Amino acid sequence: MTQDPTRERLIEAASRLFGREGFRRVTVRDICRAAHANVAAVNYYFGDKMGLYMEVVDRAIAVMQGTTTAAQEGSGGLSPQEKLRHYVRTYLSALLQSPDANTWIHGIMNQEMNEPTKAAAKIAREAIRPRVEYLSGIIAGVLGADVSDPRVRRCAIAVQSHCLWYGRQPQTSVFRKAAFPEWPDEITTGLEGIAAFVAEFSLAGVAGVH
């Protein structure tokens, strides 16, 4: 099916603007101007601004689901420890290899945390919950515990947060450079070293919880 170029320009422009400014501060006129489209185009293709926003959110969710699926693929038959290493490497790869390409997704997530819309529940249900449930299953295996064990939830949050510290570039680098200008930029040292460290640190942490 051939994509409508005007519709795609609207989605691309809206993704950038919503990710940077949030749903409430972006106007239909702003989007149409950035997309070089008639001001009536948003209503024609999406019904209204919220309809366009939900299309952008659906695309963000699809990317996030793709990362979770990639983390699951190729993990069959691995030990829980190797599954965790595979998860960390896959997740960090998605975050680090094309940071500019997915900046708008991080922006949408940040905006929804600060000023949630009706999309927040959809993101949580369709993108965040499946990822955390999968990671929790891995950690439960490492611990030899039931997935309902509170330690599993806490460890899953810790692993996810550690990955996001490196993945949320350039946001985190602003604070790092200001607070510790003498520290080297670890992102430039490559994915493999970072992934290996995060995975081993996570495994040691999980093994040490009581």
pLDDT tens digits, residue range 109-138?
999 999 999 999 999 999 999 999 999 999
Phi (first) and psi of residue 153, to 5 degrees? -60, -45
Does a structural domain hold residue 136? yes
Range scoring the smallest mean pLDDT among 33-42, 43-52, 59-68, 94-103:
94-103
Query: Comparing C-alpha atoms, which of 53, 17, 21, 20 is closest to residue 34?
Result: 17
What is the structure's pLDDT at 192?
86
170: preceding bond cis by omega (within 30 degrees): yes
Does a structural domain hold residue 203? yes
Q: What is the mean pLDDT of the chain?
A: 91
Does a structural domain hold residue 72? yes
Kindly indicate the confidence band of residue 58, based on its pLDDT and cuts at 50, 70 and 90.
very high
Give residue 88's identity as a one-letter amino acid code.
V
Does a structural domain hold residue 21? no
What is the structure's pLDDT at 170?
56
Does a structural domain hold residue 27? no
Kindly indicate the confidence band of residue 2, based on its pLDDT and cuts at 50, 70 and 90.
low
What is the structure's pLDDT at 7?
97
DSSP 143-180: HTS-TTSHHHHHHHHHHHHHHHHHHSTTHHHHHHHHH-
Angle at 56 between CA 97 and CA 117, to 5 degrees: 115
Determine the structural domain holding residue 162 and report its residue range: 58-208
Kindly indicate the confidence band of residue 76, based on its pLDDT and cuts at 50, 70 and 90.
confident
Range scoring the smallest mean pLDDT among 81-90, 100-109, 173-182:
173-182
Torsion angle of C-alpha atoms 178, 183, 185, 186, degrees rounded to 10 = -130
What does each C-alpha distance from 59 to 30, 64, 108 come to in angstroms?
Answer: 20, 9, 11
- The CATH code of the domain that includes 105 is 1.10.357.10
Flag whether pLDDT at 95 surpasses 80: yes
| H/E run at residue 137 | helix 129-143
Does a structural domain hold residue 81? yes
For the stretch 200-209, pLDDT in tens is: 999 999 999 9
- Per the structure, the count of domains in the chain is 1
Residue that has been written with the tokens 């929804």 in this structure: 112
Does a structural domain hold residue 19? no
Does a structural domain hold residue 32? no
Query: Comparing C-alpha atoms, which of 192, 178, 69, 41 is closest to residue 131?
Result: 69
What is the structure's pLDDT at 78?
95
For the stretch 144-200, pLDDT in tens is: 999 999 999 999 999 999 998 887 765 566 777 788 888 777 665 678 888 999 999
